[in-house]
Structure 1
Amino acid sequence: MRLSTVILPVRRWHDGGRDEWLRAEELGFHTAYTYDHLSWRTFRDQPWFGAVPTLTAAAAATSRIRLGTLVTSPNFRHPVTLAKELITLDDISDGRITLGIGAGGNGFDATALGQQAWTPRERADRFAEFVPLLDRLLTEDAVTSEGALYSAVEARNIPGCVQRPRLPFAVAATGPRGLKLAARHGQAWVTTGDPKLFESGTPDQSVEAIRGQIKKLGEACDDIGRDVDELDKILLTGFTPEPQRVLESLDSFVDFAGRHFELGITEIVLHTPIPDSVFAADRKVFEQIATEGLAQLR
């Protein structure tokens, strides 16, 4: 199992922001991700910086840790421009970028460009076009494609990614259409658990829900003749029942991680603590988990 972290882009780079990414590398996390939003929930009226520039700065400041989004969505992105940014970011990082990508939701990003929020079906339709086109843009020198929602006309992406044939996709999905995209295009699959259980469910119910998601992912892989074991399975914590327990103590983390490792989860992602927020946690416990958690799990 791998242990990673999410660093929300809430601090100025020269006022603690850079230090967070350097510390993540020092602590030995496999990957440091950040959200790709224009703003997010309870942080809406607080500082919030862009994902791609933040990751570019992090790539220049670090040398070993992988970096990525968790997750990018079509809400305010287009495959053509995103591909160019990702190829550049992959180059600056010398091949350390993972693209977490999902269908998006009804948050502030959904209407920030002036459009009406898309329905779940519309988000699924866009996701179904966005991911395959982005895949092509990152693997082919020149792409022309006319879709119902996204098009590219002689879009050039030379020299392509440092990682070949392209940087890896970690596809966030729980519905049947999204799971098919993960099976076909993903090098990893991402879940936050079942959102219906967050407020009123139990940890046992959450484990069973994730077990069911992994089973459906396996079925989607079977449909195209792919071995589901080829995909990493990433759990972003903080959205399952009793989220505070994960970072309550080293023992509680080991219990949580062990139960999900048995399901087939291969990477657990913890939020770097942010005081006075929904992601508040004891920094000492967080760092103890980072340095000792996986050894305890073994």
Structure 2
Amino acid sequence: MRLSTVILPIHRWSEGGRDTWRRAEDLGFHTAYTYDHLSWRTFRDGPWFGAVPTLTAAAAATERVRLGTLVTSPNFRHPVTLAKELISLDDISGGRVTLGIGAGGSGFDATALGQHPWTARERADHFGEFVPLLDQLLTQDVTSYEGTYYSAHEVRNIPGCVQRPRLPFAVAATGPRGMRLAARYGQAWVTTGDSATNVEGGTPEASRAALARQAERLDAACAQEGRDASEVDRVLLTGFTPDRHLESVDAFADFAGRHAELGFDEIVLHWPIPDSQFAADPAVFEKIATEFHQG
């Protein structure tokens, strides 16, 4: 199983930002992701920087660790401009980029451009057009497309991605339409667990049962798409389930083992942030990283 981290873009590059990304590489994390939001929840009124510029700087400051978004959504992105940025980022990083991508939610991003927040159905509709068009833009030299929500007119994307045929997609999904997109276009599937069990009073046992059901839905979607389910990696973004997995190295080892049994290939830990829902002992966090990789 791979161990990765997600670094929220809350620090100025000269005041801890650069050092954090370099430290993630030194600790041996497989991938260092960041959120692709304009602002997020309790961090809304504090510093928050853009995902693509942050990842570009991280690409220049590191050499080995993979980089990515977790996740990008259609809430304020357009496939045409996003594709150009991703091709550039993939080139600058030497082919180390993964695009985590999801349908988005109803948070601040959903109304930042002055639009009314989309319903769950509208988010799924947009996502269902966004992902296939982005796939075309990243794999073809020239793309023209006319859809319900997005258009592209003779868009050039030369020379394309360093990674061929394009950089990998990690598709965040829990519903049937998103699962089908993950099965068709994803090199990985991402989940944070089940919202019904990720609440106060939820138990780790109930969370794991819900994750098992999600994994079964992914298997079914892959079967519908005629794809071998083992070709799609399974990524768990932690910090939302009821588990207390960062209390100690032993707690994490138990957590990782139980989720490996469910078929997860990658666990993503939030870089500790004091006085937040992602607060954790930095010493324990680093010990988990180093001992996990040594094991």
Counterpart mapping for 1:65-104 below 5 A: 65-104=65-104
- Equivalence for 1:206: 207
- Equivalence for 2:282: 283
| Residue pair 1:253, 1:293 contacting (<8 A) in 2 also | no
- Tell me the secondary structure at the aligned position of residue 233 of structure 1: strand
Q: Which amino acid aligns with 1:255?
A: D
Once the two structures are superposed, residues 63-112 of structure 1 have per-residue CA deviations (whole angstroms, 9 ceiling, x without a partner) of: 00000000000000000000000000000000000000000000100000
Count of residues in Structure 1 that have an aligned counterpart in Structure 2: 294
> Greater shift after overlay, 271-280 or 3-12?
271-280
Once the two structures are superposed, residues 119-149 of structure 1 have per-residue CA deviations (whole angstroms, 9 ceiling, x without a partner) of: 0000000000000000000000000000000
Counterpart mapping for 1:42-57 below 5 A: 42-57=42-57
- Equivalence for 2:23: 23
**% identity of equivalent residues:** 74
| CA distance in 2: counterparts of 1:50 and 1:29, whole angstroms | 22
Counterpart mapping for 1:113-262 below 5 A: 113-199=113-199, 200-242=201-243, 245-262=244-261
Q: Which amino acid aligns with 2:50?
A: G
Q: Unpaired segments of 5 or more residues in structure 2?
A: none
Shift of 1:294: 4.7
Q: Which amino acid aligns with 1:136?
A: Q
| CA distance in 2: counterparts of 1:186 and 1:39, whole angstroms | 26
| CA distance in 1: counterparts of 2:284 and 2:247, whole angstroms | 7
Q: Which amino acid aligns with 2:274?
A: P
| Residue pair 2:136, 2:143 contacting (<8 A) in 1 also | yes
| Residue pair 2:28, 2:293 contacting (<8 A) in 1 also | no
| CA distance in 2: counterparts of 1:195 and 1:24, whole angstroms | 29
- Equivalence for 2:291: 292
| Residue pair 1:6, 1:35 contacting (<8 A) in 2 also | yes
Question: TM-score of the superposition, structure 1-length normalised?
Answer: 0.98
| CA distance in 2: counterparts of 1:33 and 1:93, whole angstroms | 14
| CA distance in 1: counterparts of 2:42 and 2:225, whole angstroms | 40
Once the two structures are superposed, residues 183-214 of structure 1 have per-residue CA deviations (whole angstroms, 9 ceiling, x without a partner) of: 00000000000012111321001001000001
Shift of 1:293: 2.1
Per the alignment, do residues 28 and 72 of structure 1 end up closer, same or farther by CA in structure 2, a change over 3 Å counting? same
| CA distance in 2: counterparts of 1:67 and 1:294, whole angstroms | 18
| CA distance in 1: counterparts of 2:107 and 2:279, whole angstroms | 22
Shift of 1:225: 1.0
Question: TM-score of the superposition, structure 2-length normalised?
Answer: 0.99
Please report the RMSD computed on the Cα atoms of aligned residues, expressed in angstroms: 0.7
Once the two structures are superposed, residues 240-279 of structure 1 have per-residue CA deviations (whole angstroms, 9 ceiling, x without a partner) of: 014xx11100000001110000000000000000111111
Q: Which amino acid aligns with 2:161?
A: C
Q: Unpaired segments of 5 or more residues in structure 1?
A: none
| Residue pair 2:10, 2:47 contacting (<8 A) in 1 also | yes
